[in-house]
Chains A and B, each alone.
Chain A
């Protein structure tokens, strides 16, 4: 089976722009979670989707949003980018209805740089 894929792998944007990141889970997995990783804050949970519904959301401003499609693929969007949004954005999929109660499999990440 193919693993979790994320596109693009690298992205450079300027402040004020918006960005959309994509995640394709492992075939058959229906739960997708997103995380932000920075040197200062470490790995932080953004949100989780299951069956096209957001199940949980982390403590991030409303500029961060996401969605899941009927084929379980997920996208996250960050609007009005700030310098502090520079990070590695990781997506994880799991077979069950929540990554918090099932083994999570991570994609390679999208490295976003905001100038």
Chain B
């Protein structure tokens, strides 16, 4: 099956800093999504981005499907950005990476 690797596994930032999270996948896919899981366990969909670039406020994402990777950019981070960020890819079922745990300190 498709392998999904996320890096870094952990990231600690000071409030206001920028960050880049990476997702590599082992096979061509037509679907890639980024999620944020808050400290209470709720998963929130950030982007549905099988290719190209999208932006939503301080967050943006880029997927280069031909090179099998996606990047999530977080600018001017806030403490509420803390949590785990997952990318998931799939054709018939979604495969999740292990996630990047982000801690933003005030």
Contacts and interface: CB of A to CB of B under 8 A. Distances in A.
A99 to B, nearest CB: 6
B31 A100 contact: yes
A103 B43 CA distance: 12
B41 interface: yes
Nearest to A44: B96
B93 A100 contact: yes
Interface in B55-106: 86, 88, 90-99
B24 interface: no
Contacts of A100: 31, 90-94
Interface string A48-68: 100000011010000000000
A104 B43 CA distance: 10
A102 B65 CA distance: 17
Contacts of B88: 43
Interface stretch (A11-19, A71-79, A105-113): A105-113
Interface range, B side:
20 to 34
Given A100-B90, A101-B31, A42 B41 contact: no
A88 B99 contact: no
Interface range, A side:
20 to 34
Given A104-B33, A108-B42, A45 B93 contact: yes
B53 interface: no
B92 A43 contact: no
B92 A106 contact: no
A40 B92 CA distance: 24
A90 B93 contact: no
Contacts of A108: 40-42
Interface of B: 30-31, 33, 35, 40-45, 48, 86, 88, 90-99
6 contacts: A33-B93, A98-B92, A104-B94, A105-B45, A106-B44, A108-B40
Interface of A: 33, 35, 42-45, 48, 55-56, 58, 88, 90, 92, 98-106, 108-109, 111
